[in-house]
Structure 1
Amino acid sequence: MSGKRYPEEFKTEAVKQVVDRGYSVASVATRLDITTHSLYAWIKMYGPDPSINKEQSDAQAEIRRLQKELKRVTDERDILKKAAVDSICQCNTPFNYLFRCFELQCLSRSVV
Structure 2
Amino acid sequence: MNQEKPKVYTAEFRESSVKLAIESDKLVAQTARDIGVNENTLHTWINKYSRPVDNIKAVRTDAHLYEELKQLKKEVAQLTEERDLLKKAAYFAQGQR
Q: Normalized against structure 1, the TM-score is what?
A: 0.40
Whichever of the two has the greater Rg, that structure is 1
Q: Normalized against structure 2, the TM-score is what?
A: 0.46
